[in-house]
Amino acid sequence: MIQPVILSGGSGTRLWPLSREQMPKQFLHLTGEQSLLQQTLTRLEGLTTLPPMLIGHHSHRFLMAEQLREVQQKGQIVLEPAGRNTAPAIACAALLARQTGEDPLLLVLPADHVIGDALAFTDSVQRAEPLAEQGYLVTFGVVPTHPETGYGYIACGNALGAGHHLEAFIEKPALERAKALLEQGDTLWNSGMFLLRASRYLAELERLQPDMLAACQEAVARAHRDLDFLRLDEQAFQRCPSESIDYAVMEHCSQAAVVPLDAQWGDIGSFDALMATHTPDTAGNVVTGDGVLSDTQRSLVVANHRLVATLGVEDLIVVETSDSVLVAHRDKAQGVKQLVAALTQAGRSEPHTSPQVHRPWGSFQAMNSLGSPHFPACHRHSPPEEVNKSGIRASASGALLQRG
């Protein structure tokens, strides 16, 4: 049986101001009516699986629960007290899966990927199953379509069932190296998705990362229920080394395999990647929301709350939200992460807080200190009056009122 494990702990700082610490990209509706997390969940419908296990930061617990509810799915939500990368998160998932007395195959999926061909995704997972059943730790390598410098690569070894022995991981290359890898034809993009037996992964972790395994075992053993959530023990998990599964396990495992995935895959890790998920107009522009472009080429305009107009520009990224506006040249898009770090160091709240505030009973739009002429209605229902840190109170009627 397959146990889906959805890793939902990323921050997505390269997509600021759309993606915030309190509302990261996996919860955003960037490519359609569903969020990236919800697309990941509904993609599982082509497979026979156990209910999904979501692993994410405790501050996002109500977001995860609400988005599960919206797609009418039930699953276990496991809360990390701090980010410790993918290897510990998968270890905790494996330990929890083993608590039932079963030993399922873990289908590990990041919550923020886009896959255009769900049938091809299902087919790749099914082709990987025999290898995972034999004890291989299987990763999925995306068939590259162009020389990409933003992804890591996987070098394929000898043929193995429906895939290949995993020869090596290759760090994100420079452009000329990426072109050479594409011409070789024996390398794939590293997707960060895995299919592996829970007990096999734990055995490899015990051999390679015993301190990490011990910390995860204690964090799971001392975990406690909080409403519908399972909270990992904070002290134990904080002691856990922060490491990716690639570095901690896969690079050192003799039974590592890779299965090709050709399913219109994308990792929306930048604004250029976001643009690639939309069909541009004849001038190469992508516009979402109320944008009017004149004499503008190859630009991305995201207008969430008001009109955004451009004139006589090219290769720009313009992103408007209710409290922030980003204007950047596309060549500098990878520097958004550093910009966010600088804003954080300056003590700004915008990289972290989201105007959309979520509570167990629903959500509301908070108003910044300068005020706002527009007060969207609360979603769902409101409890008796609540006051948040921004000085906004939600009345029982659902209206938002500014405190005097």
Q: 13-57, pLDDT tens digit by residue?
A: 899 999 998 999 999 999 888 999 999 999 999 999 999 999 999
What is the per-residue pLDDT for 11? Answer: 77
What is the per-residue pLDDT for 359? Answer: 54
What is the per-residue pLDDT for 389? Answer: 36
DSSP per-residue letters across 116-171: S-HHHHHHHHHHHHHHHHTT-EEEEEEPPSS--SSS-EEEEEEEETTEEEEEEEEP
Take residue 337 and report the two structure tokens written for it.
């992460």
Locus of tokens 């804003």: 343
What is the per-residue pLDDT for 366? Answer: 58
Residue 382 has pLDDT above 50, yes or no: no
Residue 192, SS3 per DSSP: strand
Instruction: Provide the residue ranges of all domains of the chain, joining segments of one domain with +.
Output: 2-267, 271-346
Q: Among the CATH numbers 3.90.1150.10, 3.90.550.10, 3.30.1330.20, 1.10.8.10, which is that of 2-267?
A: 3.90.550.10
Residue-averaged pLDDT of the chain? 88
The pLDDT confidence band at residue 212, using thresholds 50, 70 and 90, is very high
Q: How far apart are CA 13 and CA 333, in angstroms?
A: 11
Q: Mean pLDDT over residues 119-130, rounded? A: 97
Residue 183, SS3 per DSSP: helix
Q: How far is CA 366 from the centre of its chain?
A: 25
Q: How far is CA 88 from the centre of its chain?
A: 16
Category of 238 on φ-ψ map: left (φ > 0), alpha (ψ -120 to 50) or beta: alpha
Q: Mean pLDDT over residues 249-255, rounded? A: 94
The pLDDT confidence band at residue 352, using thresholds 50, 70 and 90, is confident
Residue 404 has pLDDT above 70, yes or no: no
Take residue 185 and report the two structure tokens written for it.
């034809």
Cβ distance 112 to 12 under 8 Å? yes
pLDDT digits (tens, 9 = 90+) for 57-116: 999 999 999 999 999 999 999 999 999 999 999 999 999 999 989 999 999 999 999 999
What is the per-residue pLDDT for 66? Answer: 94
Helix (H) or strand (E) holding 107: strand 105-110
What are the residues facing 378 on neighbouring strands?
none
Cβ distance 17 to 326 under 8 Å? yes
Q: Which of 253-257, 298-302, 309-313, 386-390 has the lowest mean pLDDT?
A: 386-390
What is the per-residue pLDDT for 371? Answer: 39
Q: Which of 93, 10, 27, 35 is nearest to 62 (CA)?
A: 27
The pLDDT confidence band at residue 150, using thresholds 50, 70 and 90, is confident
Take residue 157 and report the two structure tokens written for it.
């070894």
Residue 270 DSSP label = S
What is the per-residue pLDDT for 398? Answer: 33
Overall size of the chain counted in residues: 404
Considering just the CA atoms, what is the radius of gyration of the chain in Å? 22
What is the per-residue pLDDT for 13? Answer: 87
How far is residue 58 from each of residues 21, 97, 171, 202, measured CA to CA in Å?
12, 20, 31, 24
pTM of the model: 0.86
Q: How far apart are CA 36 and CA 30, in angstroms?
A: 7
What residues have CB less than 8 Å from 260, skipping those under 6 apart? 124, 140, 141, 142, 143, 163, 188
CA dihedral for 53, 137, 195, 106, sign (positive or negative): negative
Q: Which of 32-41, 214-223, 356-365 has the lowest mean pLDDT?
A: 356-365
What is the per-residue pLDDT for 12? Answer: 78
